[in-house]
Structures are given as C-alpha cells and as structure tokens.
Structure 1
C-alpha cells in the first residue's frame, strides 16, 4: 500500500496474490432518473451514455463481453484474474429475475468478483439477497458501488440527483448485514460545494462500518447535458485544479485509515466533454495530489479522530 493512502491495485494484489483487472460489462438497463420515474434527463452532469465510455454494447451478451475483454487484456497484461464490472447506469434497476440472470452469466472461471454500480435508492433486501446467493453459489466476491457524489443534500437537489443523503444512509445500513464490500463515488468539486462539504462527505462515509472503498473524481462538463447548458450560460463556476488538489488532500486526511481509494481522479474522452480535468491527463492531477500530500507530510486518516465518542475520549486516558 502507498504510505500516504491505500491504493486499490495494491489491495487487489494483496487480496488475490496477483494483479486483477476489471472488465466493464453493459446490460440493457437504464435509470429511474431517465425513464420518467424520477425524471427524464437524468442527473445534470450525466451524458446520454452514462459513464460507459469504454464499454462494449449491451446488445452483446454478458458472456460475449467478458470473452472479448479477456481476449484483449490477457495477452497484453498476462492477467489471469478479473472482476466483472457492471458499470453503466443503474445495474439494479431491473427486475430481480433479470438481475439474477445477468449476475449468473458473469460468473465464469476467471472471474473472482462482481462489481455492481447502482444508486442508493435502487437497492433493497431482494437485490441484496440475490447478490448473497450468487456469492455463496459461485464463490465470487461482491462489491456494490453507490453513486453519492456529495453529502450536501442541497447540492444533490440542484444537480437533480433524484435522491438525497437519507437514501445513501439507508443503503449503507441495509448492506451492513451482508458479506459484501462497498465503494462510494464522490465528485469533489461540484459548483455549490465548499471545503466543508468535502470534509463532511469524507466523515459521513467513514462513519459507516460498511464503507470500504472510495472513488473520487472531478466534475466533467459532458456535452449536451444540463450542466453543459449552465456552463455555457455562465451560471456555474468551476474550481481550479489547485483547489481540487486541496480538497482531495483534505478528503484523504479525514477518511478512515483502513479504507481503500480506487482512484483520486477519473478520466473521460475529450470528444465527449467540454471540460475534463482542466485539460490535463488524469495522471498529472494524481501526481499533483501525491506531491501535495508529500509537501504537507500528511496521509490518509491523519484527521480521522472524530469517530467513537471524541468528546469523552479524555476520560479514557
């Protein structure tokens, strides 16, 4: 593990004894924020294809997608173990039977885990029990990835997220009873959020024993989205790369020390975005974060002293 924060690739190697690669999987799902249940245009930042820039088309079966991805990755990286990543849109937003069948189809010999991206308002005992059954029957590990974006419920309303903080709390409480890992997705620089929101988001996530992993990324302005309209009209102001780095460092400091960072910055194709990572490669932003952690001589969990009765700790000394 990195001495400043826990890195996902190192966690995977430690867990499985070798490198493990994620294989993106698309299924013909959608989102309650797109099909009219909650809305039709989706979240203000979300493009027409969701987050699946590297995905194969959902017209291919899950087995075909996994086979094609393994054929591409295995010779290049000499990989032998993989995680099937149900990435795009809301992967629990379909009938329980259909959900179950897609999971079963992904349980192939070289697949050691299934990662399921979803929304906090699209999970309940029925879907969790299906995941538990697949884990027990096929011997795969399960990771559920929740899109939270921010703990600021007012910002969640502004970006038309369709849920607030309460649904995330409910989902994380429900999942505590199951032998799964969770990952929480956070956008660190939404225009209405401050450093206080960044810190509070880290603290709320860290307070859940069921929180294990984190994905951070900056706000992309994806073409033809509501956010792109706001940006074009000058209705929102984006933070600088330096401010993003400052927030990432603070988030890391307030994050529970046992948690794992899947990433500190994401990436999106240039042709799909008006703005992404200040025109820099994602690795440059990551390197800036690493350099700032080193400069401040700080690390993950450095400021995680707020849990387990902080105010009465003096009586235990």
Structure 2
C-alpha cells in the first residue's frame, strides 16, 4: 500500500462534499478577551491590530454582504458551487449570546455547506455550542470550531501572553466533541521558546484528543507588535527554514492519518511583516516539505502508534 504524504484539506473537502469547496472569510466587529482586559491587555505578543484578517472585507459590512461579495469573486474565478462560511478574525464566540445566534443564522444559505467558527479555547461554552447544534439540526449544515492553541508548552503560552493554558484547550475540545462538531487546531511550530520535544508532544496531545483538522503556522513577525520589538532588539531568534521543515515532518509523522491538514505554512503580506517565511514564497516551503517527505520515506501517521496502551501491545502481542 502506498501511503499518502499527508491528508490535504482540499482532499478532505472533496471526499466530504463531492466537489471543491471554498472558504468565505467573515470579519465581524469584535475584539478578544486578551485585548480588552478580561484575560489580558494588548493581545498575544505576535498579533497585529488587524488580527489575522489581512485579506478580510470591512467588518462594517453585514454577514450576508461579505458572503455575497466573496462568493461572487470565488465563484467566477474557480467555478465554485459550495462554500464554507468562515468566521475568521479575532474571537468569534466573544459576544453576547443573542448576537452570536443572530450572526450564525445570517450565514445560512443553500450553497453554504458548513460554518466554521474561529475562537479561543477559553471562550467555549455550552450555551454557544447549543446554538450551533440547533442550527445544524434545523438546516442540516456541518459545523467546525477552530481553536488557536499555538503550543502545548505552558511556559511558552505565558511568554506569548496567550491568556489561557493547555487546560482550557483540553476542556474546549472535549466540550465541542460532545456536540459532534469537527475541531480544527492552530499550531505555530517555530515559536522562539519551543524545542522539537514541544512539537512532538503537541502532535501527540492532539492525537490523544482526536482533533479532526490541524492548521500549521510558521511564525511571522507582524509590524508594531511586542514581538516585533523583541525581534528588532535581538531578544529572540527564529529557527532556520530547514529546521522548520523538519519540525513539520516530525509533527505530521505523529499525527493520525485521518486528520485533515489545512495548512503547512503561514501566509502574510510582506508590507505588514518584519519577517515571514525566511523571505521565501510559502508554496516553495510547502513543496520543500513534500519533497523532503518523499525522499526520506516520511508520511503522516507513520509514528503515531502510542495510543491504546501501545507498551502492552509491543510487549505481549502475538
């Protein structure tokens, strides 16, 4: 049997929906509990004022207006017929319950096959999940909740001023899973304080929790952030491109084969960053990762055999 290198998100979507499906980003007028003083001030030290919404439409447009504008562009360019309404920027459960219900239902449409909600592990609550469950039951739409974890090293979580620990992430995943939703986790594989052991442990924890999808990020240094000051002052160093490639491979080898991989490398506009992807196009790094895996016999899940009492199996199996 020939193993695939990794389970690409595009392949997962085709298998689930029978054709290509495209994400339509939605940018709400929101903030984050790590910005307004609830969990911290100023946000994570790597996060810019616009969050991750570099390419998002204005948050003054309604949900429907954003969906329609993005849909018109993507449908014409890619001849797409099915879409995912992706609540992307900031913390999309950090709002009053009534407003959350309103915006989620505004995203429903006959060509919207899924709603993806990006949020923080410390902003997962049963009341909000129940709204999504009711929406799913009423409209037959799939639900994915995307959680930014970034690292399992709680020392690093403190250094990046994340405002939550690993425990909140575990609690969030377990709650989401009880409702039968898909869970996607975001991980940064080259944070300055993490080592290869942290990357390995991160992959294993996500496997133990049966996370469904993973989005891997290469750290970029956004301008006008606390991390930008650290970078300019020489207080932090970033591993080499070659070391990053090896970390991605290490992570994938300890990731279950059925987990869909949304991304291997970050993307950010050059004018908004001091450092991004070693001044290399993101797709060249992706290609280098795939080439390294092919040449060395690596593939997703090759070393993910630690679950279900693996020590007993290795000792006493026939």
Q: TM-score range by the shorter chain?
A: over 0.9
Indicate the residue corresponding to 1:121 in structure 2: 122
What is the CA deviation profile of residues 89-117 of structure 1, one whole-angstrom value per residue up to 9, with x for unaligned ones? 00000011101100000001210000000
What is the CA deviation profile of residues 232-257 of structure 1, one whole-angstrom value per residue up to 9, with x for unaligned ones? 11100011100000000000000011
Does residue 92 of structure 1 match 2:93?
yes
Indicate the residue corresponding to 1:235 in structure 2: 235
Once residues 248 and 99 of structure 2 are traced to their aligned partners in structure 1, the CA distance between those partners, rounded to angstroms, is 38
Which secondary structure state, in structure 1, belongs to the residue aligned with residue 116 of structure 2? strand
Does residue 185 of structure 1 match 2:186?
yes
Q: Could you say if the C-alpha distance between residues 27 and 89 of structure 1 is closer, same or farther in structure 2, counting changes exceeding 3 Å?
A: same
Indicate the residue corresponding to 2:252 in structure 1: 252
Q: State whether residues 219 and 266 of structure 2, in contact with CA within 8 Å, keep that contact through their aligned partners in structure 1.
A: no
Once residues 298 and 37 of structure 2 are traced to their aligned partners in structure 1, the CA distance between those partners, rounded to angstroms, is 46
Does residue 198 of structure 1 match 2:184?
no
**TM-score for both structures, normalised by structure 2:** 0.98
Which secondary structure state, in structure 1, belongs to the residue aligned with residue 298 of structure 2? coil
Once residues 259 and 207 of structure 1 are traced to their aligned partners in structure 2, the CA distance between those partners, rounded to angstroms, is 12
Indicate the residue corresponding to 1:214 in structure 2: 214
Once residues 160 and 46 of structure 1 are traced to their aligned partners in structure 2, the CA distance between those partners, rounded to angstroms, is 10
Indicate the residue corresponding to 1:289 in structure 2: 289
Once residues 272 and 102 of structure 1 are traced to their aligned partners in structure 2, the CA distance between those partners, rounded to angstroms, is 29
User: C-alpha displacement at 1:176, in angstroms?
Assistant: 2.0
Once residues 92 and 114 of structure 1 are traced to their aligned partners in structure 2, the CA distance between those partners, rounded to angstroms, is 13
Once residues 172 and 65 of structure 1 are traced to their aligned partners in structure 2, the CA distance between those partners, rounded to angstroms, is 29
Once residues 233 and 216 of structure 1 are traced to their aligned partners in structure 2, the CA distance between those partners, rounded to angstroms, is 27
Q: State whether residues 145 and 182 of structure 2, in contact with CA within 8 Å, keep that contact through their aligned partners in structure 1.
A: yes
User: C-alpha displacement at 1:124, in angstroms?
Assistant: 1.2
Aligned pairs for 1:135-214 within 5 A: 135-209=136-210, 211-214=211-214
User: C-alpha displacement at 1:174, in angstroms?
Assistant: 1.2
| Structure 2: gaps spanning 5 or more residues | none
Indicate the residue corresponding to 1:45 in structure 2: 46
User: C-alpha displacement at 1:2, in angstroms?
Assistant: 8.0
Q: State whether residues 30 and 91 of structure 2, in contact with CA within 8 Å, keep that contact through their aligned partners in structure 1.
A: yes
Once residues 9 and 138 of structure 2 are traced to their aligned partners in structure 1, the CA distance between those partners, rounded to angstroms, is 26
Indicate the residue corresponding to 1:300 in structure 2: 300
Q: Could you say if the C-alpha distance between residues 250 and 194 of structure 1 is closer, same or farther in structure 2, counting changes exceeding 3 Å?
A: same
RMSD value over aligned CA atoms? 1.1
Aligned pairs for 1:43-82 within 5 A: 43-82=44-83
| Structure 1: gaps spanning 5 or more residues | none
Q: State whether residues 3 and 299 of structure 2, in contact with CA within 8 Å, keep that contact through their aligned partners in structure 1.
A: no
Which secondary structure state, in structure 1, belongs to the residue aligned with residue 200 of structure 2? helix
Q: Could you say if the C-alpha distance between residues 2 and 68 of structure 1 is closer, same or farther in structure 2, counting changes exceeding 3 Å?
A: farther
Q: Where in structure 1 do 4 or more consecutive aligned residues deviate above 6 Å?
A: none
**TM-score for both structures, normalised by structure 1:** 0.98
Indicate the residue corresponding to 2:113 in structure 1: 112
Which secondary structure state, in structure 2, belongs to the residue aligned with residue 121 of structure 1? helix
Once residues 78 and 168 of structure 1 are traced to their aligned partners in structure 2, the CA distance between those partners, rounded to angstroms, is 37
Once residues 106 and 176 of structure 2 are traced to their aligned partners in structure 1, the CA distance between those partners, rounded to angstroms, is 23
What is the CA deviation profile of residues 67-126 of structure 1, one whole-angstrom value per residue up to 9, with x for unaligned ones? 001111111111000001000000000011101100000001210000000000000111
Which secondary structure state, in structure 2, belongs to the residue aligned with residue 176 of structure 1? helix
Which secondary structure state, in structure 2, belongs to the residue aligned with residue 89 of structure 1? coil
